[in-house]
Amino acid sequence: GGGETFGDRSLSQGLSVLVGLGLCVTMLGLGCAVELGQLGQQLRRPVGLLLALLGQFVAMPLLAFLLALIFALDEVAAVAVLLCGCCPGGNLSNLMSVLVDGDMNLSIIMTASSTLLALFLMPLCLWIYSRHWINTAVVQLLPLGAVSLTLGSTLLPIGLGVLIRYRHPRAADLLVKISLWSLLVTLVVLFILTGTMLGPDLLAQIPASVYAIAVLMPLAGYALGYGLATVFKMPPHCRRTVSLETGCQNVQLCTAILKLTFSPELIGSMYMFPLLYALFQSAEAGLFVLAYKMYGKDSYKQDTLGEEEDTDISYKKLKEEEIADTSYGTVTTEEHNSIQMEPTQTAL
C-alpha cells in the first residue's frame, strides 16, 4: 500500500525530473574535470584504470552481495543493495580527495574510468550476483537493458564536458564547482522529498538490517580501497585517494536507475537505500577528513618539509665546497689564524 501511495503522489514526476537533471549535471562536471593529456598518460600507465576496475567492479559488488546474504535481505532490499554496490565511483570522492591532500589526477581518472566501464560491467555484475534471487519476481523483472540505457545516456554529458574542458578551460572549472554544489543540494532535496512522499509509516518499515548495511558498506569500501592501494605499494596520499574512490558510490546513478526503471509499487521503501548510503558515506568520509586534519596533516607537512630541507642541505653543502675550493688549502679556523699570524712574526 505504501508503494502505491508513493507512486500516486503528484511529486513523483517532479522527482524523476530532478533525478535526471541532477545526474546530467554531475556527469557534465565529471567530464569537465577530465583533461585529455592526463587521460593519455593514464592509458600509457593504466594504474588508475586497474584500481577502478578492481575497486568498483570486483570488491564493491562482492561486498554488497555478501552483506545481503549475511543480513538475509529479501529480494527487493537485495536488489537495491546490489545496484548501489555495482555503481561506479561518485563525484563526492573528488571533493574529499582535495580535503585529504590526495592525488586529484588519480581521483578524477578513477571516477571517469569506472563510469565508462560501468556501461558494460555494471549489468554484468548485476546479472552475476542476482542469481541467488533468480526465482523472485523482482530479479526476473530486473531491467538490465534499461540499466544499460541509463548508463549510456550519461556518456553524452561526459563527452560534452570533455569538449568544454578542451576548448574553454575556465568555463570547465566553473562547471566543476557547480556540479559539486549541485551534488550536495540534489542529495538533500531528494532525501527530503523522498521521505515526505514515502511517509513515516513506510519509512518505519525499512528493516534495521538495511540501515546496518548502509552504515557498514561505505566503511568497508574505504578499508578495502586503502588495502588495495597498499597491495600496489602506492604512496600515502594515493592510498587515501583510492580509499575514498572505492567507498564513494555514484548514488545519483543508483537513484536514477531505481526511479526510472522500477515501478514504485515494486521497489517501495527500498528507493531510500541509495539516499541512506549517501548520507552515511558522506558522514564517514567527513570523519575520515577530520581524522586526517587532526592527526595526519602534521606528518604530511613534515614529509614535505623534510624533502625541502634535504634540498637545502644539499645546496648548503655545495656552497661550502665552492668556498673551500677558493680558500687555497685552508681547512680550519685555527690553521687560518696561524697563517695570518706568521707574517707578523717574520716582520719582527
Query: Could you give the CA distance from residue 176 to residue 158 in angstroms, rounded to a whole number?
Result: 12
DSSP string, 171-236: HHHHHHHHHHHHHHHHHHHHHHHHHHHHHHHHHHTS-HHHHHHHHHHHHHHHHHHHHHHHHTT--H
Task: State the alpha helices, DSSP H only, in 130-168.
Answer: 137-140, 144-153, 155-167
Q: Which of 264, 301, 235 is nearest to 76 (CA)?
A: 264
Residue 223, pLDDT score: 95
Residue 180, pLDDT score: 75
Query: Could you give the CA distance from residue 203 to residue 305 in angstroms, rounded to a whole number?
Result: 52
Residue 167, pLDDT score: 87
Residue 344, pLDDT score: 46
Per the CB < 8 A criterion, the answer to whether 222 and 246 are in contact is yes
Q: pLDDT 10s per residue in the chain (348 long)?
A: 444 444 445 556 666 677 777 778 878 888 888 777 766 666 677 788 899 899 999 999 999 999 999 999 988 888 889 999 999 888 788 778 878 888 878 888 888 888 888 888 888 888 888 888 766 666 655 656 656 666 666 678 888 888 888 888 888 888 888 887 777 777 777 777 766 666 666 667 788 999 999 999 999 999 999 999 999 889 999 999 999 999 999 888 888 888 777 776 777 777 788 888 988 888 898 899 888 988 876 555 555 544 444 434 443 444 454 444 444 444 444 444 444 444 444 444
pTM for the model stands at 0.73
Fold of 16-294: Na+/H+ antiporter like fold (1.20.1530)
Region of residue 329 (phi > 0: left; psi between -120 and 50: alpha; otherwise: beta):
left
Only one residue has cell 578495502, namely 224
Name 89's bridge partners: 249
Query: Could you give the CA distance from residue 285 to residue 282 in angstroms, rounded to a whole number?
Result: 5
